[in-house]
Structure 1
Amino acid sequence: MAAPAIGRRRTASCVRTAVFLFLVTFVWLQLHVASLGSARHAAPDAAAAAADANDSTAAILSMVPQVLHKFLTPKPRRNATVAAGAGAAAAAGTAANGSAGAAAAGLPVPRPNISDIRRSIERYNEMQTIHNEEVFGPVQNDTLIIVVQVHTRIIYLRHLIVSLAQARDIDTVLLIFSHDYYDEEINELVQSIDFCKVMQIFYPFSIQTHPKEFPGESPGDCPRNIKKEQAKEMMCNNALYPDLYGHYREAKFTQTKHHWWWKANRVFNQLDVTRNHTGMVLFLEEDHFVAEDFIHVMHLMERTCKVSCDRCNILSLGTYLKTYNYYGDSKKAEVTPWVSSKHNMGMAFNRTTWNDIRRCAEFFCIYDDYNWDWSLQHISQGCMAHKLYAMVMKGPRVFHIGECGVHHKKANCESTAVISKVQHVLKFAAKHLYPTHLTLTVTNGNKKQKLRKGNGGWGDIRDHQLCINMTKIGR
């Protein structure tokens, strides 16, 4: 009987050892997981976890190199009278957002001068000035072009600029800021960038420049919730064109899709410096934040596509997941059909892909959905010869830091909590950045996707026509 007893003891010992090793391995892996949802997952010890919890402005500044604090520190606003003498563009900017100096001096706050703003926008778009070109050299056909869509959220924009400034090889790119709101403080911030070539373009059909006429809100437009029969009786402008849910257009929602489509056409087909560009164009937004190796990773993805994924025609550097394991996922990428709600952050494509998209301009422009990304997925499923197929980084290099936007409003839209958490995620992921190669996982995309019903907000024939006209060269 002694032999079976010894056997049982040995088996129990082996089981205990296996369990112990499993627990040790599990705990060790958890220390390498970075999480936006919970700060303690990002830190390997209690002190770092305590630091994560501190999302004050001072704490955030402490993680930014001193030389870059200038991008986070607002400058005192100039007196409106002084600014007006600085030239037409500055004068228009003062009319738009330079009232702080006048208010501080006890003077009446000037109203925006729409005519001046329109003239300044026209001048900027005509001049196509590239700042810092004399320092960093001319744009080449394969130069990485980064296009940032900007509205009014300057706090987030400041942090995006700081993250870009810390990226390796940022001095090789052309950074284009596409604005749908003319704001002198934002202009000054953008024009203070000294780490790469910079250009500004301005969406010319904005709500700001058309406050009482289409594509803004016209007094003759139908109220959003009125019934079609009532609208026809009222004879309001767009009575015959409610969206598929029976609602009439709201300019604040239609503008984003118009702006995205305009800037893509502007960059690929109309700007002198990029109309023959053959390299990658990366699309960011004002409330994004980039990792320091995002350019390195994007070039690595581009090379990997050529060797291992012929059908990949779009690169996605961001993800909306809350938890990331950089130890295991830093060099992993997924190959999958492009999905608008998952892969629209930090996405990049080249002229070949753009030409495929542009051929479906009408399909994009008449689809009853006010979201540019849903509209892009619609043309991928129902129009494009080569559907959008994405290579997506599992360890993201682009993050979303915005607490508020078109769809979401919170009590505090200037919260720094997400910014602080992203800083700490990247701090503890630093040793896993700059992979030398990528490992691909292919997701089965053979399942046929149904064409989705749009979200509406885009039934007005005037929006359709404005959108289609943007594709015409020279507009």
Structure 2
Amino acid sequence: MLDNITVTYRSEKFILKFDRCQQHFGMSPVCFQYFQFRNVRNAQEEEKTCAIRKDMQYNDHWAKPDMASSKWDNFLDPSWFDSIHSNIHMGAGYYKTSLNISDIKRNIAQYNIQQTVYNEDIFGPLQNDSIVIVIQIHDRITYLRHLIVSLAQARDISQALLVFSHDYYDEEINSLVQSVDFCKVIQIFYPYSIQTHPHEFPGEDPGDCPRDIKKDKALHLKCNNALYPDLYGHYREAKFTQTKHHWWWKVNRVFNQLEVTRNHTGLVLFLEEDHYVAEDFIHILKLMERTCKDACRHCNILSLGTYLKTYNYYGDSKKKEALRAKQQSKKNIAEVQPSWTFQVLPSLYQHPQKVEITPWISSKHNMGMAFNRSTWNEIVKCAAYFCKYDDYNWDWSLQHISQNCLKQKLHAMVARGPRVFHIGECGVHHKKNNCGSTAVISKVQQVLKSAKRHLYPDYLILNLATVLKKNKLRKGNGGWGDYRDHKLCMSMTIR
């Protein structure tokens, strides 16, 4: 059986690492995507050492995506796989299988039982001061590719553990995730998904009440959940409830079930498939963690992201300089016009060490959010406040816990210069004609390129946010009135 295959591409020799893929998948097409190409100056020497590379932490292999003929140009272009496939003849046995629900459930169970940590042989066991990065994934593979590329370029990423948490089983996504070779990786699969339960709870049961039916009519029809509309009189929609269930399940699993993380006391960072990270995000996260221990002991959440579409890159500059920079920014990025635009203004990155101390607000501080086991242990004590709160949003439910249950409310240290960006234009709530657009991604990359000299600060400057008014206890958004959702959520709680 071949260990690796030498191919020629763009007049240069590369090696396709094939051994581990065959071990897990046999002669299937997924192996071609589970690839690792290396520029070979000395083909014979490279073939002797390509199986395990101890020096992968920070080498030329992980080139920037804007470099000519780099791995990342290819990685982000799915059509490139086709050209490789056509150049490598594997004969019979090259096939793709279509899985039914029973197959998917069996595969999911196997992944969750085995808990395989990929690349642990290369990067060693997880250390307590390492960052665990948990990524919630559905099916948006285009965004996921860009997130993985941004993670690959981050300094010290080789010390991290990536936990990919799926609520949709897809072989192409699996092969993409398993192609990551710059750090340790583990996959977990939410076992109560709509995909695996399409015609029964927690999916859409044919006997469930339609969303907009009136309660008296629902009682007359005797549909399954007639007694349990939400606080706005609507009945559950599975596609909206799944995200909150998945979020709660994955956090419980990471802190309390996975062998590799169940005793980990360091930071756990939560990302989603349509996020994008700056190259110094780990540096900033660790700097914030150290600062909290010395100067903000009541801070229990760190936040690296923002939903603002305008970033001030030179915070305290004069207005004239700000206007000049804004005009120059518009000139530089005029060629790309997505549905909304990032503007590289005179900005916070002139003072990249600024962080803000503020009460945690779900709508502002839920992206690129990190906390440790101590914070989680307090949150999980309030499981009923999360699971029975009539709001289908996990972040609003977490806010409800903070306001109504926690002895010490959630307080965040927020990076004024964001290190996590939201690049998704399509999702549960947003449907557009061109969901494959990379315009927003281009904007983010330009923002980070402009800010590059302001990254990696040596220290942080704390700013206490001015709280203008006390946050009122909020009425939930509904969508979570069904007792079955409450029961499922509570059943996933591990204390």
TM-score by length of 2: 0.76
Structure-2 residue corresponding to 1:457 = 479
Rounded to whole Å, the distance in 1 between the matches of 2:148 and 2:276 is 8
Deviation by residue 1:128-162 (Cα, 9 ceiling, x = unmatched): 00000010011122221000000000000000000
* Closer, same or farther: CA 214–83 of 1 in aligned 2, 3 Å: farther
Query: What amino acid maps onto 2:418 in structure 1?
Result: P
2:258 to 268, 271, 277: 271
Rounded to whole Å, the distance in 1 between the matches of 2:240 and 2:133 is 24
Aligned-partner SS, 1:278? coil
Rounded to whole Å, the distance in 1 between the matches of 2:415 and 2:385 is 29
Structure-2 residue corresponding to 1:69 = 73
Deviation by residue 1:296-335 (Cα, 9 ceiling, x = unmatched): 0000000000111011000000011222214434111010
Rounded to whole Å, the distance in 1 between the matches of 2:235 and 2:184 is 42
2:375 to 339, 343, 353: 353
Rounded to whole Å, the distance in 2 between the matches of 1:390 and 1:157 is 27
> Cα RMSD (Å) of the superposition?
2.2
% identical equivalent positions: 71
Structure-2 residue corresponding to 1:130 = 117
Rounded to whole Å, the distance in 2 between the matches of 1:258 and 1:65 is 42
Query: What amino acid maps onto 1:397 in structure 2?
Result: R
1:286 partnered with 2:273: yes
Rounded to whole Å, the distance in 1 between the matches of 2:450 and 2:272 is 25
Structure-1 residue corresponding to 2:425 = 403
1:385 to 389, 392, 407: 407
Gaps (5+ residues) in structure 1?
1-59, 96-111
1:49-448 matches, cutoff 5 A:
62=66, 66-74=70-78, 75-76=81-82, 94-95=97-98, 112-324=99-311, 325-445=347-467, 447-448=469-470
Q: CA deviation at 1:124?
A: 0.1
Q: CA deviation at 1:71?
A: 2.7
Q: CA deviation at 1:63?
A: 6.0
The more displaced of 205-214 and 410-419 is 410-419
* Closer, same or farther: CA 375–355 of 1 in aligned 2, 3 Å: same
Deviation by residue 1:235-270 (Cα, 9 ceiling, x = unmatched): 100000000000000000000000000000000001
The structure with more radius of gyration? 1
Deviation by residue 1:432-469 (Cα, 9 ceiling, x = unmatched): 00000010110145953211000000000000000000
Contact 2:349–2:417 under 8 Å retained in 1: no
* Closer, same or farther: CA 280–199 of 1 in aligned 2, 3 Å: same
Rounded to whole Å, the distance in 2 between the matches of 1:72 and 1:241 is 45
Which has the bigger relative contact order, CA under 8 A and spacing at least 6? 1
For these two proteins, the number of residue pairs brought into alignment is 391
Q: CA deviation at 1:65?
A: 7.5
Deviation by residue 1:151-192 (Cα, 9 ceiling, x = unmatched): 000000000000000000000000010000000000000000
Q: CA deviation at 1:127?
A: 0.3
Deviation by residue 1:307-366 (Cα, 9 ceiling, x = unmatched): 110110000000112222144341110100000110000000000000111000011000
Structure-2 residue corresponding to 1:466 = 488
Aligned-partner SS, 1:295? helix
Structure-2 residue corresponding to 1:52 = none
Gaps (5+ residues) in structure 2?
1-63, 312-346
Rounded to whole Å, the distance in 2 between the matches of 1:367 and 1:64 is 51
Contact 1:71–1:189 under 8 Å retained in 2: no
Structure number having the greater helix percentage: 1
Query: What amino acid maps onto 1:270 in structure 2?
Result: Q
1:25-36 matches, cutoff 5 A:
none
Aligned-partner SS, 2:362? coil
Contact 1:63–1:423 under 8 Å retained in 2: no
Task: State the 4+ residue runs in structure 1 displaced beyond 4 angstroms.
Answer: 82-86
Query: What amino acid maps onto 1:147 in structure 2?
Result: V
Rounded to whole Å, the distance in 2 between the matches of 1:401 and 1:329 is 24
Aligned-partner SS, 1:341? helix
Deviation by residue 1:35-65 (Cα, 9 ceiling, x = unmatched): xxxxxxxxxxxxxxxxxxxxxxxxx963688
Rounded to whole Å, the distance in 1 between the matches of 2:109 and 2:201 is 18
